[in-house]
Structure 1
């Protein structure tokens, strides 16, 4: 219909790794009907988001247009694609479509927030497609590091769009469906390819999951003490590879960590994991001689409460590590997690435990396509338009250059960039406000609400609480009192900082005019200025200041 257009709008995952959420719309400008692809989380760090539990995309733009949202499609069950679904569903309330294993994990996420799972429809893979408004959407199996990963084939009035999802070209993935070049080539040519960009800077061909096992077996067989291996719990193929290596070396396998146990159980229940080696639980592992035991533990990214971190700090669930034991990190450290992983590795070193990671042995392969695989996907699908997604800005930009070099019209579209796919080239038609939501305890807060900002400022500068009591005649009744948090006890004057601040505030109250004493706002402002300036002189810092003014009434 004249005046209608096909648009793509990333809300998360474009310009960053994690927190994936993408909109596709069709219709007249401002009246489009939308589908949402994925609802993921990313994880906080103590430097930038202290105390925060999870981070979601800010969905205000589409939540304000929830009546225009017809469906949600989940490509696979990684946290950065499905982890926000239960948290945000109350504001979206559109039917959810996913394949069996992903739907199983999604239902568990929804159940944590009181939903019964009826919101989720299990769908079959291509050639089956779901009709949603002007879109026909099908799930195309693709190899990744979790079972039943799928790209989406989205047929529209303006042509076929393929949303790759996370993928690599792996013909022998171990668990899950192998990449099928012929099936993907049969989709070509396509109007647009929206494509994973994570490993665009890696110029060598990606390795198959099948190459990992033969490297792990001798490491486990030659180990003399207890062996612990950690990887992403969701990488069930790797978990199975590790378990098989342990069994081949004659060891009992113990799954340690709820997410590890939950993922293996989900894979077994849904039939995507077959013949997983027998395993025991931690309470049974205490009775197994350590030279006959291999633990598969959660926490490959340094999560403080996960099993690997707990083991590095001493005993966990009755199991402790000691000199001569071995820990395998069968994973790659996600950028930003280096410090926490390094701390765990150092803890193990102090215990005399040997740590082997992907730098020392070929015990990990990425779940994302390297540049040669990306170029192969371009060749198979023959897209007219390429829009890189799932990656930091530098990755998107590099991927766009690869596309243009091969004659594909490409554009860099970070979060909040609405792109029209209706023409012969992608056209940026609008920018919308995007951001982040924080799960802080049990409450969702906006990134601009000031809560985390104030927490960071208190962490950086410390806090001074000043209390004063004013009588019915607007006269200070007692001396000011001061309480300090996160500040040195003494400064340049060698006197207690608390006493110095109380004295300075007291002197100010003694000389302040009646008009200032009677006005809480003016009084608070002047006290804050005095405390900050005095602290700067004493300790070289200006703390966050809280002023408590209590007034007696007649």
Structure 2
């Protein structure tokens, strides 16, 4: 579709899911993109770490795409940039800290000189065709969380990005109630807003409270080392932990390349100026354990992250001992329960105490609870509520909440659903192609393509290969060779392989002149044996070698 004299909202990711935020706005024949994020893979994508949005719709219309405007620097909003931005071929726009994170990503990918990255000052404005964007600072768990005020010929949109209300923010100066009311006073057509914590009946709370909670836990419970794990991108939490280190008289040790990157970028952008000096790994190894506060990545149980290696005793520099304390200053993302539990069990087995947000006030969310949503709607007063950044249940509840507090209209979007906001909106006017891509090693593939389908089959059923050698007359020149991987046969393995070879040999007595039909008959015979023995249908390949 091509937007006409209208204002269209079209999410390509982030609506019906938490993560991978990509949103298009269209009017007068042109499009702009807000955010270009990714999400992390779950076990249904074996061997894959990152999931990227399928941008086919807008790639086919790239001549009509004016640019990509970024709200803030979290991975679910900027993480796909190094993999997809070069193909879009349009400028990127971000505030200084977010631009610093993006620049490092582009450098690592070797495409910094191929992608135009523009830095917009805090509270700055940019114009792209008939769109005018103005940044409005909001509190979040990373510096420079921003809403976007998007002015168009057909009305104003308040796109919240990720946000919360915080009376005592640790980094940055968010917009005040008066400033947000002033935005609403000018008239807002639609608020496109964060739905993550819509089921939370209480406000998210201030980062200042986390500092107090961590101080209390460390001073009352810690006798040896204290290790705090949190999201690497949570620069506000890094600031808090720097203050906690001072409060408790401990030396700060930072572990994890991603944390180093956030710290360096934050300092370059003018944040974390009073962050305490860091102790090296070498000095930490010699220091009194009770003098250390270690901050590391791995809060979600990532196998290769620092905390997983420390828990397993395999980290090359840092060790924990019985009596040490590990604090999870983060929430548990749904789907990561098993991985997190594995790490926590490994810590417990070594006599290390673990404290989470369930036992103490050591974390607050960066997203708005229900009271905060109600306040924002009272200030912005949109005519239309468009909930995004949540699973379907979050979006539906957010829409109900908006309507219940006086927003005239609400509509729940889905990825690919084109919603006309004006005139006469909201109205669903089409559904465009969306999907997922996987970053598999260095290759980008369709998430539902042949590679992933076959890999899942191998993961669930195993793999069998049968090789048949035929002489010039097309007859078997040797006994078939069988190789298997992951098929659930162990003690009787030799008998199992022998029976498969016998089945392959019998099928191999057939007419080999039709190579495809011949190979298929062997494949069916071999897999039938596997099914009879195991109840599984392994992925089965047949190789025919003609002498």
TM-score range, shorter chain: over 0.9
Once the two structures are superposed, the pairs formed by residues 269-418 of structure 1 within 5 Å of their partners are 269-408=268-407, 409-418=409-418
Q: What's the CA shift for 1:490?
A: 5.3
Inter-partner Cα distance in structure 2 for 1:451 and 1:531: 23
Per the TM alignment, residue 230 of structure 1 is displaced from its structure 2 partner at its CA by: 0.6
Cα deviation for residue 448 of structure 1 reads: 2.5
Q: Shift of the alpha carbon at 1:176?
A: 2.2
2:532 corresponds to = 537
Is the Cα–Cα contact under 8 Å of residues 217 and 245 in structure 1 kept in the other structure?
yes
In the alignment, which residue of structure 1 is the partner of 2:156?
160
Contact 2:462 2:485 in 1 (8 A): yes
Q: 1:531 to 1:327 in 2, by over 3 A?
A: same
For 1:129 and 1:114, how far apart are their aligned partners in 2? 29
Retained in 2: the 8 A contact 1:19–1:39? yes
Please list, as runs of the form range in 1=range in 2, the aligned pairs for 1:187-198 lying within 5 A after superposition: 187-188=183-184, 189-198=187-196
How many residues are treated as equivalent by the alignment? 540
Task: State how far apart, in whole Å, the 2-side matches of 1:79 and 1:494 are.
Answer: 46
Tell me the distance in 2 between the aligned counterparts of 1:184 and 1:363: 29
Residue 252 of structure 1: aligned partner: 251
Q: Are the counterparts in 2 of residues 212 and 364 from structure 1 also a CA contact under 8 Å?
A: yes
SS at match of 2:188: coil
Q: CA deviation at 1:304?
A: 1.1
Matched residue, 1:57: 53
Deviation at 1:457, TM superposition (A): 0.7
Separation in structure 2 between the aligned mates of residue 384 and residue 365 of structure 1, nearest angstrom = 31
**Partner SS for 2:32:** strand
Change (3 A) 1:38 1:444: same
Q: Deviations over 1:159-205 (max 9, x none)?
A: 11111000011121211223411111111120111000000011112
| 3-state secondary structure, aligned to 1:549 | strand
Distance 1:116 1:537 in 2: 56
- The alpha carbon displacement at 1:242 in A equals 1.7
Residue 121 of structure 2 corresponds to: 124
Query: Unmatched 5+ residue regions in structure 2?
Result: none
Contact 1:137 1:155 (8 Å CA) reproduced? yes
Once the 2 structures are TM-superposed, how far is the Cα of residue 350 of structure 1 from its aligned partner?
0.4
Question: Structure 1 residues 393-402 or 179-188, which shifts more?
Answer: 179-188
Q: CA deviation at 1:318?
A: 2.3
Is 2:38 the partner of 1:37? no
Q: Partners in 2 of 1:203 and 1:148 — Cα distance?
A: 26
Corresponding residue of 1:471: 471
Q: Distance in 2 between matches of 1:96 and 1:281?
A: 37
Deviations 1:514-536 (A, max 9, x none): 3xx11121112212211121111
Q: Distance in 1 between matches of 2:209 and 2:175?
A: 16
Judge conservation of contact 1:536–1:542 (CA < 8 Å) in 2.
Answer: yes
Q: Relative to 1, partners in 2 of residues 1:245 and 1:494: Cα closer, same or farther, differing over 3 Å?
A: closer
User: Structure 2 length normalisation: TM-score?
Assistant: 0.96
- Looking at structure 1, the residues matched to 260 and 493 of structure 2 have their Cα atoms a distance apart, in angstroms, of 57
Partner of 2:545: 550
Secondary structure of the residue aligned to 1:36 is strand
Instruction: Please give the per-residue CA displacement for 1:417-470, whole angstroms capped at 9, x wherever unaligned.
Output: 110011343000010121111100001001122211211110100111000012
User: Are residue 203 (structure 1) and residue 204 (structure 2) matched?
Assistant: no
Taking the TM superposition and a 5 Å limit, the aligned residue runs for 1:146-157 are 146-157=142-153
Could you give the per-residue CA deviations for residues 15-59 of structure 1, whole angstroms, max 9, x where no partner exists?
Answer: 1001111001112xxxx21111111110112x2011112111101
Which residue does the alignment assign to 1:90? 86
Query: Does 2:173 align with 1:174?
Result: no
- Name the structure 1 match of 2:13: 12
Deviation at 1:495, TM superposition (A): 6.0
Counterparts in 2 of 1:460-539, with a 5 A limit? 460-489=460-489, 496-510=495-509, 512=510, 514=511, 517-539=512-534
* Distance in structure 1 (CA, Å) of the matches to 2:490 and 2:168: 65
Partners of 2:452 and 2:305 lie apart in 1 by: 24
Determine the structure 2 residue equivalent to 1:217.
215
- Cα 1:310/1:495, change in 2 over 3 Å: closer
CA RMSD in angstroms comes to 1.5
Structure-1 residue corresponding to 2:110: 114
SS of the equivalent of 1:8 reads strand
Comparing 94-103 with 522-531, greater Cα deviation is found at 522-531
Q: Distance in 2 between matches of 1:424 and 1:199?
A: 30
Conserved in 2, the CA contact under 8 Å of 1:171 and 1:178? no
Match of 1:458 in 2: 458
Selected match of 1:145 from 141, 146, 150: 141
- How far is the alpha carbon of 1:287 from its aligned partner? 2.1
CA distance in 2, matches of 1:60, 1:547: 36
The DSSP-based 3-state class of the residue aligned with 2:193 is strand
- In the superposition, relative to structure 1, how do residues 3 and 99 fare at CA in structure 2: closer, same or farther (>3 Å)? closer
> Alpha-carbon deviation of 1:110?
1.2
CA separation of 1:494 and 1:115: change in aligned 2, threshold 3 A:
closer
Query: Which stretch of structure 1 is more off in the superposition, 444-453 or 431-440?
Result: 444-453
- The equivalent of 2:44 in structure 1 is 48
> In the TM superposition, what is the alpha-carbon distance from 1:132 to its structure 2 partner?
0.5
CA distance in 2, matches of 1:156, 1:178: 24
Partner SS for 1:448: coil
Q: SS in structure 1 opposite 2:112?
A: coil
Preserved contact between residue 488 and residue 497 of structure 1 (Cα < 8 Å): no
- What per-residue deviation string (whole Å, max 9, x for no partner) do you get for residues 324-374 of structure 1? 000000000111111111100000000000000000001100000011111
Kept in 2: contact 1:490–1:497 (CA 8 A): no
Q: Residue 240 of structure 2 aligns to a residue in which SS?
A: helix
Which residue in 1 is equivalent to 2:23?
22
